[in-house]
Structure formats: C-alpha cells, structure tokens
Structure 1
Amino acid sequence: MSELDAPAARPLADLPDYTALLARTDAPAGSSWGLFGPDDQLGTLNFLSLNDLHAAAGEIRTGTAYSLDLPSTAISTSLAPTRKPIEHHIFQRTPFHRDEWLDGFYTQYGSQLDGLRHIGHPEHGFYNGADAGRFVPGDETLSIHHLATLPIAGRAVLLDVDRHLRLRGKPIDPHSSRAITAQELEDTRAAQGTDVHPGDIVLIRFGWMHWYLTQADPHIKKSLHSSQIHPGLAQSHDILAWLWDHRVSLVAADNFALECWPAAPDSPFFIRAERETGERDPHSGIMHRALIGLLGMPIGELWNLDALAAACANDNQWSFLLTVAPLTIVGGVGSPANAIAMR
C-alpha cells in the first residue's frame, strides 16, 4: 500500500503536501479524496480541529464585531443569469402582528458560502466520489447542513491584496479579469506581518465589492448580469498549493467567484476535451472544479470586508475570531454566509 492509500481517515498532521496530492494514483490527482475518511462530509473544514478555539478567542482585543454580509438589496441586478433577487412578502393576522415568507430565494445570490455539492470536476465527479444522483432535497450527501452543524468557528486572517498593491503603486483594475498570483498573496501576507496557522479561515479582499457598491455605474452593473468579469485569484496549482499547504479550512473573498473571471486562457483546469475540441461552457477552466470538487474546500463569495479591513489596517492587526453560520437546509447546496468577525 502506498503512502497515500487511505482506507480510513489520515491523521491531519500526516497529510501530504499539494505536490504529493498531484502525484496520487489511488484517487484523482490533486485531490484530498479519502484522506479525511471515505464518508467525509466536511472537506478541508476538518482542519478546523487544528485551530484551538480558546486561542482563537484570544484574537478578540478591541471587543468589536463586524457583520460580513451584504444587505439583501445590495446586489442589483443579479450577478448570475441563473439567480434572481428574493421576493419578500409580509402579511398579518391582526393589526398588531406581522409574518412573512420568501419566494425565489436563491441561497447563493448575495454574501454566500459554496458548499461541497456546488461544483464537481467534469472528469472525476464531486468531492470524495459522492454520488451526484443523491443531490436532492432532504438527502444528506455533501449537504450544507453538515457545515452548519460543525459549527464553523475559529481563527481567521484577512489578506488585503487591494491595499497592499495600491501602496505599491499597482492598483487592481476592478473591471478586469486581473489574476492575483500565489506570490502576490504571499507578499501581502508578509507585508502585513500576518501568520497563517493550520486550520485558519482566510479572507481575501480584492477591493471589488467597494468598487461595485460605490463606483460602478448602473450600466456596468447591468452588464455584469450577462458577462461577468472581475479580478480574483489566478487559476493555478500554485494557488491551490498555497491554500492546501497552509491547511486553510475555508477561503472567502469580496468578489463574485474568489478566482478571476472568466477563467484565463492558460488555466490548467480546462479538461482535455475542452482543450482539444475547443468546446466550452461557462465553467470551463475554473479553479472551483479543483478547489471544491477535488480538494473539498468550501468557498465564500461576495463578503463585505471593507469595514473589517479598515479596522485591521488602523492597528495592523489582521487576525480575529470568525463565525460562519450557513442555513441548516438538509440537502442544501449553498447558503447565505451569516459571517461575523470579532476582533
């Protein structure tokens, strides 16, 4: 049996690095399949057990909490052609009573968490070889409720890539598909003097949400509905290595898809058929395929990081306690983030 053969969960301290994952022959190359156990439902959130919650609570120094979720009306029009804003209804039984219901509630419309059902790999399937035929309401396979009941709480760090590059005279064009490299991510971490501990949640600020909320004109916002374009992480194995080798439990950002969009023409995540035939779909080449489908790392998107970033920059303290509370929908694909940072 090879070093990477894993009939049961491997001790977290003994897991291979990303280079070794790429050499796997017992599971898809570049995957963590089986390393957390054959029936694992949490993916890299297993790393949260490396994150001492007592120590994480010690990151609270100013006694200030920050909601990282946008208001329900902040995104308009929709940033995805398949998602629509909620229809909110309020009713009453008596003059001194109110109740409500929602129609058309797309759980990944605004500030969100992508669960492990969200994206699979077109050649290998969904995380840990899960049977996608079971991805129906009420079935627990890779359901978002597992993430909710974990629960998600621990030390987190913010990497303000936008601020770092602006200070160096290299601002990010928010209406471009500028790819942020692993080296730029590491440079930001080093410039901030921030350590990433095993099990940490990593938040990345590209400055895109600030631009969208305060500078993008209505015409540009409308165009994003049908032709998304924004900066983000480069589609690269170096990025995946940085995240996996740091034992990041969850990664989130203030843009639409964490990675740059659309996928770069040289993305290594185009599958063979896409490269050879040129046939593409809207997800061709995206790193989500490897990040969620192979590594099992949940992704947060459209998080509101500006106020938190300003506070972190003010006292040069970039770590804090973070809680994320997705909805406990059995069979759910994703959820509003319900994220709160305390520092």
Structure 2
Amino acid sequence: MSAHEFRALYERLREQAAQPTVDGRTGALRHLTPERVTAAAGEVRTGRTVSLAAAIDTVRGPDDPEPAVHRMTGPSPGEITSKGLHFATDRFAMNVHGDADSHLDALCHVVFNGQLYGGVPASAVTAEGASRLSVDLVGNGLVGRGVLLDIPRLRGVPWLDPGDHVTLDDLRAAEAAQGVRVGAGDLLFVRVGHRLRRTELGPWNSAEARVGLHPTVAEFLAERKVTALGSDGNNDTAPSSVPDVAFPVHVLAIHAMGIHLMDYLRFEDLVPACVRARRWSFLCVVAPLRLAGATGSPVNPIAVL
C-alpha cells in the first residue's frame, strides 16, 4: 500500500468514526451498548470458560528482551521453619507493550502526527501517565459477543508465515466457512497461528518478521462496527506494507477509529472448544487492570461458551 493510499484510507476512516461520546462511551466503545451486552449473554450454552491469554513469560528471548520479573518476597527462610502464621508474598513487574505477553492497548497508546485518537493532543501523555484516553476507559471491562475467525484453518495450514497478511477476503471467507458473521459491538479475534508457530519452532525476533492484518482490513472493522480487535500476533505485519508507517493497523484501528486492540493472545484452547461446540461465537469478558493513566494493561480475556 502506498503512502498516499494509506493516508486516504486513514482520513476516510477517521471521518467516519468522528462521532460524539455516547453515554460516556468513547470511540468504538459506543457500539457496545447495554442491549448488545445483554444479547451476548445468550451466547452461553455450556458454561465452559476458556482463557485467551498466554502464560506470562519470565524468560528472556529474541522476542522478549525485557521479560516480566516475578520475585518472591516472603516467607523468609526463618519463617518457613518457624511456628505460627506467615504469608507467601511476591512482586511482579512487566513491560506492557512487548512482543510476547498478552496485553490490551489503550486509546492513548498510539501517537500519530502529534495527536492521539479524536484529535487529543499528544501532550496528554506525560511522564506521570495519560490524562485522557487511558486504560481507565475500560476499567469496567469489555463484555460482549466474541467472534473468532481462524485464518490458518481456512487456508488449511497450521499457521501463517511471518510477512504474510490476513486480507479482507480472508475474513469474509472465514465467516462463510465457519458459519458466523461479525456484527456491531463484537469483540473480533483473528487467529494467525503466531502462538502455535512460536511453540513449535521456538521464539524469533518478531519485531522484524511477523504475520498480521493488511491495512485494508480496517474497512471491515468500520463496516461491521467492531468494538475491539484481538490477535495471537501483533495485529500488524512486519515488515510493514506501508512506507514510513511501521504499525498501520494500530494507527487505523486505535488512532483513526478508537478501537481497542489486544496483542499476542492465545487461541489454542479456544479453537477445539469452538469445534466441539460447532460455533465460533461466545460471550467474552475482558477485564484490564485498573491502572490510572496507563497506556495499556496485561489482559486475560475469558470466553464463555
């Protein structure tokens, strides 16, 4: 995609999404109405719950040079052998926006041409945190109808190779093959097989080579009024298909349309559950941490079938 084509797409999607806040719901959150949340509860048939997150990695690797740190702070050696009451305690720290751990991107995450989503000045993000569009917007969670589109399953392969793109035609063909249709307010999950490839072949520098969505997929998101988008990869392909824009899907989804993104999820438990249930939609509960002013959060989406 040329720089001119990308800019035209960006401006068109931004104009379409330029609507006022509705009942406190900003950006694509306005599509997730109470009525649609209530309808999503009807997706529950068996009561089975499935996590869509990967285990947090604490081992350094080519795609995770600064892994999460988990340290035990108690009990002390003396407390372990002494009588009385003691507690096991620990401390956890992580880089939220890495290339290994499952996380959610807030609307303040993407700075493009000096602005955040909705024309908010980038100066709203300071060393103390974001004063606007932070993860606080979804502090009450994202609860709605989840839909999984499995692109490797559609193509008959275990995973898509780094550098490949999920296209608009792929999404529509997956809908037809799986007997499901993405609708307004949905939480759309697109499997590319990144997690399975990482498990089978080992981690690699995914900052330089990864599979993702083609930027034109953003038109699908706008057309269907999707509230959130998640993938088992980064959602963006590397190398980028757009000159001088390394993460075009992030720019289009977050910055132009106000869609929350979830990166590096894991669908290897969800796929067989959907196959057994013979359906690819479910109630989905996404509960980010309540981190005031944060640009994102570790996340553990739960599908309820």
TM-score, with length taken from structure 2: 0.85
Counterpart residue number, 1:121? 112
Aligned equivalents of 1:184, 1:35: Cα separation in 2: 29
Residue type of the alignment partner of 1:92? G
Q: For residue 9 of structure 1, what is the aligned residue in structure 2?
A: none
Counterpart contact for 2:152–2:160, Cα < 8 Å: no
Q: CA deviation at 1:37?
A: 3.4
2:273 aligns with one of 311, 319, 334: 311
Specify whether residues 51 and 240 from structure 1 end up closer, same or farther in structure 2 by C-alpha distance, changes over 3 A only. farther
**Runs (4+) of structure 1 moved beyond 4 Å?**
38-41
Q: Please, which of 196, 203, 206 is the counterpart of residue 182 of structure 2?
A: 196
One-letter amino acid of the structure 2 residue matched with residue 329 of structure 1: L
Residue by residue, what CA displacement relative to the aligned partner does 1:291-321 show, whole Å, maximum 9, x if unpaired?
2111111111111111111111233211100
In structure 2, C-alpha distance between the alignment counterparts of 1:39 and 1:317, rounded to whole Å: 32
Q: Which residue of 2 is the match for residue 260 of structure 1? A: 237
For 1:155 and 1:97, locate their aligned partners in 2 and report how far apart those are by CA, in whole Å.
40
Letter in 1 for 2:136: H
Q: Which amino acid aligns with 2:205?
A: L
Counterpart position of 1:56: 40
- Distance (Å, rounded) in 2 between the aligned partners of 1:30 and 1:303: 26
Q: Amino acid of the residue matched to residue 89 of structure 1?
A: R
Q: How many percent of aligned residue pairs carry the same amino acid? A: 26
Within a 5 Å distance, the mapping from 1:1-343 to structure 2 comes to 28-32=11-15, 34-37=18-21, 42-49=26-33, 52-73=36-57, 76-77=60-61, 79=63, 84-92=66-74, 94-95=79-80, 96-103=86-93, 105-109=94-98, 110-122=101-113, 125-136=115-126, 137-149=128-140, 151-166=141-156, 171=157, 174-213=160-199, 215-217=200-202, 221=203, 223-224=204-205, 227-236=207-216, 239-255=217-233, 257-264=234-241, 267=242, 270=243, 274=244, 283-284=245-246, 286-343=248-305
Q: CA 1:119 to 1:138, structure 2 compared with 1: closer, same or farther past 3 Å? A: closer
Contact 2:21 2:27 in 1 (8 A): no
Find the aligned partners of 1:319 and 1:294 in 2 and give their Cα distance.
27
Q: How far did residue 38 of structure 1 move?
A: 10
Task: Answer whether contact 1:178 1:260 (CA < 8 A) is retained.
Answer: yes
Q: Which runs of 5+ in 1 are unaligned?
A: 1-21, 275-282
**Residue 78 to residue 69, structure 1, CA distance change in 2 (3 Å):** farther
User: How many angstroms apart in 2 are the aligned matches of 1:112 and 1:53?
Assistant: 22
Could you tell me whether the CA contact under 8 Å between 2:21 and 2:30 is conserved in 1? no
Q: Secondary structure at the match of 2:248?
A: coil
How far off is 1:48 after superposition? 0.7
**Structure 1's 208 and 74: CA in aligned 2 closer, same or farther, altered over 3 A?**
farther
Post-superposition shift, 1:102?
A: 2.5
TM value normalised by structure 1: 0.76
1:18-37 alpha-carbon deviations (Å, 9 max, x no partner)? xxxx699xxx5421564133
- String of CA shifts for 1:4-26, please: whole Å, max 9, x gaps: xxxxxxxxxxxxxxxxxx699xx
Give the number of aligned pairs. Answer: 287
Superposition CA RMSD, Å: 2.7
State the distance in 2 between where 1:30 and 1:52 align: 23
Once residues 143 and 41 of structure 1 are traced to their aligned partners in structure 2, the CA distance between those partners, rounded to angstroms, is 13
Query: Which amino acid is the alignment partner of residue 307 of structure 1?
Result: D
Name the aligned partner's letter for residue 276 of structure 2: N
Q: Per-residue deviation at 1:141? A: 0.5
Structure 2: gaps of 5 or more residues: 1-7, 81-85
CA separation of 1:74/1:208 partners in 2, compared to 1, >3 Å: closer, same or farther?
Answer: farther
CA–CA distance in structure 1, aligned partners of residues 34 and 23 of structure 2: 20
